[in-house]
Amino acid sequence: MTSPYRYPHLQATVAEPLTFSGIGLHSGCPVTMTIQPAPAGTGIVFRQVDLGNFPIEALSAHVANVSYATSLMKKGVLISTVEHVLSALYGLEIDNAFIDVDNMEIPILDGSAAPYVQRILAGGIRTLNENRRVLRILRPLEYTLGDKVISVTPSDELRITYRIQFDHPLVTEQELSCRIDPDYYACHLAPCRTFGFLKDIEHLQANGLIKGGSLENAVVFSPDGILNPDGFRMPDECIRHKILDFLGDVALLGMPVLGEFYACKAGHGVHAAMVKKILADPANYAVENLSELVGAAS
């Protein structure tokens, strides 16, 4: 694949409105969502159309819940399971968009970011006449929660090494290191679906979760196999989906980040904690125009 636009040091938005309909993974409720073009400097903003386009900016300050999905809340208005659409926009280096929804949860679609990526690339990405700003990590940081670990060190690009461990013969331990750019994201991360284990379904449903879950939108593991008749999309689909989720959560920094991350057994809560830790001290980062960094490197 070629780069989706020629000047990545400039901000971008979607070229046309893109509408998606489906159900919420956890609520099971029908929802229609439209990704709309937005001017430079807007950022990513969710709008509840049934509440007069009430805006909820996709920022760490609005994170409300990180149990099994990432939810945002502003003035009591909630929008849930935002990570896949945020991941798609982040992975394709789209800085600005309005995301209009008519219910409280983003549609799960097929459980991956591929439907978003395919439609965005087909509809086109529009370059805007304003420089992209990036958040550059200045010093090493680490967050731990029990055996869950995430760290970041300074880098001139975004790289992630992710490691997972599950007590299942088809997963066991997986680790992947990659540099994130639009081509890699679209081909190697976006198609990878959320996953879960049959043994956990009863507990999740008892807690009001995964009401919309099915083999159409998730990889489900039986005790010694996989229930999906078509199997995996990639042999290491699980670790790739974890990186997809990570990018959706790191998007809540509000701009692209330059840093090298390492995560082990992490999840939405640990990702969100690292984002908050980065932002907690201005000595941790610098906000710079990407064009100036490109010029300095050339």
Decide if 268 is catalytic: yes
Residue 153 CB coordination number (10 Å): 14
Q: Choose, from 62, 241, 268, 271, the residue flagged as catalytic.
A: 268
Residue given tokens 């949860």 in the structure block: 105
CA angle centred on 275, ends 274 and 281, rounded to 5°: 95
For the packed helices 237-250 and 268-280, what is the interaxial angle rounded to 10 degrees?
A: 30
Contacts for 37 with CB less than 8 Å, ≥ 6 apart: 13, 14, 15, 16, 17, 96, 97, 98, 126
What is the distance between the alpha carbons of residues 10 and 132, in angstroms, rounded to a whole number? Answer: 5
Catalytic amino acids? 268
